[in-house]
Structure 1
Amino acid sequence: MRMMCPHCKQNAYTRHSGQLTTDSRETIFQCRNFKCGHVFSKVAEINRTVIAAAIEDRPPCA
């Protein structure tokens, strides 16, 4: 996933990404501009179903 630094508008790279909940994930980015160095996060989440799944939910592993 490409992100631009909100501070200097240069490209940023992913430093870390982790699952927060079953429906959301946080990604930490760092600006590639050495002089800027801004580190920021983005949270992506599932907000709706476009087409329902064709299979039933799997029960969680015990």
Structure 2
Amino acid sequence: MDVATAATGPLWLQLYWLKRCDLPVDLIRWARAAGLRALVLTVDAPRVAFCPRDAANGRT
């Protein structure tokens, strides 16, 4: 069963701010064509912080 069929409410897309300006535009166009009714834009992290624990574990 796909998500749209199983959903009990309006479909929406959460979009994070990306460095590539063309990709969000394409995703928004896809969402509109797919019938999604809301867009949630997350902009709460303007920059990813350096985390020594992640660096020690090889995650960059």
Higher RCO (Cα < 8 Å, 6 or more apart):
2
In proportion to residue count, which structure has more helix? 2
Do the structures match in fold with TM over 0.5?
A: no
Alignment TM class, shorter chain as reference = under 0.3
State the TM-score, normalizing by the size of structure 1.
0.24
Normalised TM-score (structure 2) = 0.25
